[in-house]
Amino acid sequence: MLEYHEYEKAVFDWLKSKYDKEEFTFSLRQVASKGAETDYFIGTSKSNYFATTFWYISVNFPGSAGDLIMLHFGYTRKNEELSYYFEFNQTNSPHDAQNTSALNLIKELKEPLESKFGFRRPFNPNAKMYNYHLKPMQDAYVDIQTMFQDIDKQLYDVIALVDEYILKEKQSNPEFIARRFTKEDFEANLQKALDRIEKHQNTKANNTTIQNAVEVLNEDQLVGDPDHVPKYRYRTINQILYGPPGTGKTYNSINEALKIIDDSDVKVLNFKDRIAVKALFDKKVQTGQIVFTTFHQSMSYEDFIEGIKPDIEEDDDGRRSVVYDVKDGIFKLLCKRAISEYYRFKEKREEKTPLDRLSVFDDAWNSLIELTQSYIDSNEPMHLETLTEKKLSVVSITNQGNLIIKPQVIGALEYTVSYARSKKLFDAFPDLNKVNNIDKEFRSVIGGSNATAYWSVIKYLNKWVSEHGHTAKKEEPIAIDEKLITFDQGLVKKHVKEKTTPYILIIDEINRGNVSQIFGELITLIEESKRLGKEEALTVTLPYSKETFGVPPNLHIIGTMNTADRSVEALDAALRRRFSFTEMLPDPALIASAGALNQSGGKLYDLDLAKLLETINRRVEKLVDRDHQIGHSYFLSVVSWEDLRQVFYRCLIPLLQEYFFGDYGKIALVLGKGFVMEKHAGVDADFFADVFDDYEGLAERKVYEIRQYSPEQIEDFKIAIHGIKIS
């Protein structure tokens, strides 16, 4: 029987021959984890399976790893024969329009596929995942060529049906991202995969001692535009992109964040399609995997790490008061999300079957709603338990599906118990007996509320779950309660070698804040060697919460820094030592290759915009320095003389005025006399007020001003541009 890698190579050769004959496209593994460096497809030799897909359909949900539609290859249970099947898989609880459309697609496909091919195993409509497998032509094969022939009998019909139903779904949701891989997609992915495989095969053959360095280089991940930034470089966990304004620092921070994540969505992403890049970035921000923030003069330690913040507390009688509590900041919250990945490894390693509470919340909530409605229909009172002997009455259900609850006291106020807040509390407090102060602990999760009313509802929901029972399958995502997370050095060290989900913090304009004050004592902890799980790991006790805190190793920090900003010196040596720096300089060539005038090579009629920018920047560098050059991004959208006029008067000239501190004489040296004119040739000797000192020479001092060209004076503007003397 074929060994795993022989099996995988045979499938690759079969599919590749289809591409050579008919440009048939399919997916390949792009970035390999340790042990899978020479694999062609996703899957592992340990699990005895690998798989491919034929479509780019973006899906993302907690625990997602594979694609929506996949062709699986594997072995029979005793590893004696070969097997295959088509799998359709998506969560039954999609969180956005893209994932909802993906679910709709395979739901609509179910009936025609089942009718044509049958299912490999019974379909379970009540499962958390909407999943079905098509029945293969045979259960097992000894001869792989026979298996390929049978797959061909199903493959093209499956593709035709999927393509047909994708078009139907796009009629309902035109934004649905779903398509066959293009020839360009495939060839790019193929070359990348073959390069990776060849390099790792050579590494093994030569028994090189630089294996770790090769693995880093073999990731083949780019920073920014692949035509603009060097292709290979070592990626550190803390990095800053720095350069003059308009050079694409923020633009490239988005690209870099996605390439660090490098999941199935990123692997098929065309980074030249900016709309698709930004859409995927927004999705990662929405799921909390990427956090984007901007430093400013008012940013503080309390905003970034933790601090005491005011909140509104409401008692059982509806009276509100201001209370103060410790609140986590941006960085600490993201650290909690990042370290939760190691808790998931702990659960998997200990082979527990934890209660996936959120997966049954809707069932428990619907049970309460139905019970309440039955009491309302029969005009009977519906009561819920409280911490005391007194009970609460559920009096109605709102149009939004929330509950209206009131104490059994004459004249008592009514309170709304919402679905969303109840879900947060349900996830946070599986055992109400462990809650010492419901007002304080509930408020830390949902803010000000009537804690007694929410306690009664959560009590009912917990009881319902315990009576009906529910255990999550091991392959399902493990829900981790963030409130119970601690920064456990031992836990991370035990699982630090595992491939965990990366989390990224992008700090735009990092040098505009007081970095030493914002990071505080954590300036040491962000260093790669001081991260949790490392040999030199450090933790600190936070000043407000008194919690032990450390920075997990799967949290990446990307900063951007404008070198022309006068606050740049706020970036002290301690911070610089803990970051790697990538310089982003103006690249005039991008105006010709990626700008709106790329068809004309970056030329606006007879004016070469790239050479115009080069000329201006050489003069600025001579008069100031390289950190104050003008970025290429200002010129990328120019398609007319009016566009160029707007760039000059709204962007370029204001920058030069700032760079030269209002010294218009130097601006004239950069732009020429077409843009700067003398305001006064001179004044009378008695122009100034009488003083004791002699200031007669100042009367002859030349004063300049910017020459303004209106849209109606565009021909004069053209003359001024050509007067810059482009070299």
**13 within a domain of the structure (yes/no):** yes
**532 within a domain of the structure (yes/no):** yes
- 485 and 464, same structural domain? no
pLDDT recorded at residue 49: 86
> Which residues, in sequence order, are bridge partners of residue 95?
none
pLDDT band at 194 (very low <50, low <70, confident <90, very high): confident
Rounded-to-integer distance, Cα 76 and Cα 134, Å: 16
Rounded-to-integer distance, Cα 526 and Cα 197, Å: 34
Structure tokens at 378: 């029969």
The beta strands (E) that lie in 377-511 are given as 382-384, 392-397, 403-407, 415-417, 503-508
- Residue 81 in this model has a pLDDT that exceeds 70: yes
Give tens-digit pLDDT for 487-533: 555 555 555 555 678 999 999 999 888 888 898 888 889 998 888 87
- Residue 221 in this model has a pLDDT that exceeds 60: no
- 604 and 527, same structural domain? no
- 543 and 525, same structural domain? yes
Give tens-digit pLDDT for 465-498: 877 655 433 344 444 444 444 555 555 555 555 5
Mean pLDDT of 266-270: 87
Query: By CB neighbour count within 10 A (0-12 exposed, 13-18 middle, 19+ buried), where does 4 fall?
Result: buried
Q: Which residues contact 683 (CB under 8 A, 6 or more apart)?
A: 699
Mean pLDDT of 255-261: 92
| Residue found by looking up tokens 């984007």 in the block | 292
pLDDT recorded at residue 84: 93
- 522 and 643, same structural domain? no
| Residue after which a domain boundary falls, among 423, 452, 468 | 468
pLDDT recorded at residue 345: 53
pLDDT band at 680 (very low <50, low <70, confident <90, very high): low
**159 within a domain of the structure (yes/no):** yes
pLDDT band at 613 (very low <50, low <70, confident <90, very high): very high
Rounded-to-integer distance, Cα 42 and Cα 68, Å: 14
Mean pLDDT of 335-360: 61
**213 within a domain of the structure (yes/no):** no
If one counts the domains in the chain, the total is: 4
- 227 and 195, same structural domain? no
pLDDT band at 220 (very low <50, low <70, confident <90, very high): very low
Choice among 65-69, 559-563, 663-667, 684-688 with the minimum mean pLDDT: 684-688
Helix axes 419-428, 438-446, angle to 10 degrees: 120
**365 within a domain of the structure (yes/no):** yes
Query: By CB neighbour count within 10 A (0-12 exposed, 13-18 middle, 19+ buried), where does 490 fall?
Result: exposed
| Residue found by looking up tokens 């029979």 in the block | 76
- 274 and 376, same structural domain? no
- Residue 45 in this model has a pLDDT that exceeds 80: no
Using CA atoms, how far residue 472 sits from 172, 363, 501, in Å, is 33, 14, 21
Name the residue with higher pLDDT: 233 or 463: 463
| Residue after which a domain boundary falls, among 468, 491, 506 | 468
pLDDT recorded at residue 396: 87
- 180 and 121, same structural domain? yes
pLDDT recorded at residue 702: 76
Query: By CB neighbour count within 10 A (0-12 exposed, 13-18 middle, 19+ buried), where does 338 fall?
Result: buried
- 547 and 456, same structural domain? no
pLDDT recorded at residue 334: 92
**418 within a domain of the structure (yes/no):** yes
Mean pLDDT of 294-312: 89
CA-wise closest residue to 70 among 137, 10, 148, 134: 134
pTM of the model: 0.54
Rounded-to-integer distance, Cα 430 and Cα 76, Å: 41
| Identity of the amino acid at 561 | M
- Residue 368 in this model has a pLDDT that exceeds 80: yes
Choice among 384-398, 477-491, 662-676 with the minimum mean pLDDT: 477-491
Mean pLDDT of 204-233: 36
Whole-number percent of the chain with pLDDT over 90: 33
Q: 516 near 571, Cβ under 8 Å? A: no
pLDDT recorded at residue 112: 94
pLDDT recorded at residue 589: 92
Structure tokens at 446: 């949902």
Mean pLDDT of 580-588: 90
For residue 442, the surrounding DSSP H or E stretch is helix 438-446
| Residue after which a domain boundary falls, among 468, 490, 505 | 468
Q: Which residues contact 242 (CB under 8 A, 6 or more apart)?
A: 249, 560, 561, 562, 563, 581, 582, 583, 584
Average pLDDT for the chain: 81
- 362 and 337, same structural domain? no
- 399 and 548, same structural domain? no
**548 within a domain of the structure (yes/no):** yes
Residue-range definition of the domain harbouring residue 711: 589-722
- 170 and 24, same structural domain? yes
- Residue 720 in this model has a pLDDT that exceeds 90: yes
pLDDT recorded at residue 655: 92
- Residue 219 in this model has a pLDDT that exceeds 80: no
pLDDT recorded at residue 228: 38
- Max avg pLDDT among 311-325, 338-352, 533-547: 533-547
pLDDT band at 238 (very low <50, low <70, confident <90, very high): very high
Please calculate the CA angle 396-398-399 and round it to the nearest 5 degrees.
140
Give tens-digit pLDDT for 11-44: 999 999 988 888 899 999 876 666 677 888 888 7
- Max avg pLDDT among 300-309, 345-354, 429-438, 497-506: 300-309
pLDDT recorded at residue 576: 77
Rounded-to-integer distance, Cα 613 and Cα 458, Å: 64
**214 within a domain of the structure (yes/no):** no
pLDDT recorded at residue 33: 62
- Residue 632 in this model has a pLDDT that exceeds 70: yes
Mean pLDDT of 186-195: 86
**Residues composing the chain:** 727
pLDDT recorded at residue 224: 36
Q: 706 near 670, Cβ under 8 Å? A: no
Q: Which residues contact 384 (CB under 8 A, 6 or more apart)?
A: 391, 392, 393, 394, 405, 456, 457, 459, 460
Mean pLDDT of 164-180: 92
- 682 and 567, same structural domain? no
